[in-house]
Amino acid sequence: MSSPGAGLRSVPVDLGDDSYEVWVGAGARRHLAEVLPSGAGRAAVVTQATVGVTVDPGIEHRVFTIGDGEPAKRLATVEDLCRRWAQWGMTRRDVVVAVGGGVVTDTAGFAAAVYHRGIAVVHVPTTLLGQVDAAIGGKTGVNLPEGKNLVGAFWQPAAVLCDTEVLETLPPREYASGLGELAKYHFLTGDDLGDLPLDERVARCVAIKAAIVAEDEREGGRRALLNYGHTLAHALEIAGHHDLRHGEAVALGLIFAARLARRLERVGDGRVADHEAVVAGYGLPDRLDPGHDPDELVALMKRDKKALDGLTFALDGPDGVEVVAGVPEDVVRTTLVQWLGEGGR
């Protein structure tokens, strides 16, 4: 592995022997050959037809396409990939290159984690959400019919290339979905990311995530902060059968988390207004559909897999965002009912 250097920003993810660099900037994908593990024999490039981004690993390679959307993120796709890799004769010296959004990097990353008990993977995330979140930190996995991301592994990539040029072809709602995660980082650090040029913004988000992952790779504690806004977001995604893109649901989840923190007297009105202003500033939805059934949403939030001790939320407070377990159900329900009663505003 050599260093792409000039023109790109490099953000280290510090994980001892598993450390790697995330390279951010326009044209980063053209440096793929330089970041492959040294001695890599062949490369299996995993992507989707809808991604439309080509890469040149500079070594013998083959392209393996998978289906689009959440339905493709399942064990059958992992089996199919591993079988096709075996038929091609891939060995542990070879490398997987995942080119796509979170569906591709999660699925190909998990297949790489289990094929031959683990072969190297390099991520080339092509969505904003993938660049600031999904491709960073080594969580890989697939869905089961019973729930999202229920089967997976921690498998750190050898390198990540966040090429901001490829975001130009992203459909607007996919771009907005990434902005929801950007809004989340805003509250985790208090940094005003909105004013930064895109490359810098992506690099800053990567650095925030990298710092949290470096402290808590396996989500024993601090990494759970990355779920800020996600408890209601996941419930809204399930209740609405994914009519909201993930980042749109996160935007609403951020406002709800602020309202809940206010009801628990952790923050005042000003902080709720800050959340509403940041979400609106990113052009994200800030209005909860008043047709939602609060009981259904509370029941879904109780099923959240992070809820180890009753209802668990990442909540803002005097010392910043913290994980708060055992939030009383009636407080959660009242906060929701009040928001819905205001017409979701």
Binding mask 95-114 for ligand NAD (x = CB under 6 A): -----xxxxx-x--------
Nearest distance in Å: CB 104, ligand NAD: 6
Q: Between 93 and 242, whose beta carbon lies closer to ligand NAD? A: 242
Counting contacts by CB under 6 A, is residue 246 touching ligand NAD? Answer: yes
Q: Between 13 and 332, whose beta carbon lies closer to ligand NAD? A: 13
By CB under 6 A, name the one of 4, 25, 57, 130 that touches ligand NAD. Answer: 130
Residue nearest to ligand NAD (CB): 102
Cα-Cα-Cα-Cα dihedral sign, residues 51, 57, 62, 66: negative
Tokens representing 29 are: 């994908």
> What is d(CA 297, CA 4) in angstroms, rounded to the nearest whole number?
47
Sequence letter at residue 59: I
> What is d(CA 32, CA 160) in angstroms, rounded to the nearest whole number?
9
Binding mask 249-288 for ligand NAD (x = CB under 6 A): ----------------------------------------
Counting contacts by CB under 6 A, is residue 234 touching ligand NAD? Answer: no
Give the three-class secondary structure for 7: coil
By CB under 6 A, name the one of 28, 66, 120, 129 that touches ligand NAD. Answer: 129
Per CB under 6 A, the segment of 63-71, 182-190, 197-205, 266-274 that binds ligand NAD is 63-71
Q: Between 8 and 267, whose beta carbon lies closer to ligand NAD? A: 8
Give the three-class secondary structure for 26: coil
Nearest distance in Å: CB 222, ligand NAD: 15
Nearest distance in Å: CB 158, ligand NAD: 16
Counting contacts by CB under 6 A, is residue 4 touching ligand NAD? Answer: no
Q: Between 249 and 327, whose beta carbon lies closer to ligand NAD? A: 249
CA distances to 136, 153, 210 from 217, rounded to whole Å, are 11, 12, 9
> Any idea what DSSP says for residue 133?
I
Q: Which of residues 138-177 bind ligand NAD (CB under 6 A)?
A: 139, 149, 166, 169-170, 174, 177
Helices (H), 116-229: 128-129, 172-189, 198-215
Consecutive H or E run containing 112: helix 102-114
Q: Between 135 and 267, whose beta carbon lies closer to ligand NAD? A: 135
How many Cα atoms are found within 13 Å in the side-chain-facing hemisphere of 84? 18
Q: Which residues pair with 327 in a beta bridge?
A: 311
Q: Specify burial of residue 65 (Cβ count, 10 A radius: 0-12, 13-18, 19+).
A: middle
> What is d(CA 113, CA 118) in angstroms, rounded to the nearest whole number?
4
Question: Which residues in this chain contact ligand NAD in the complex, by CB under 6 A?
Answer: 48, 50-53, 68-70, 73, 100-104, 106, 126-127, 129-130, 133-134, 137, 139, 149, 166, 169-170, 174, 177, 246
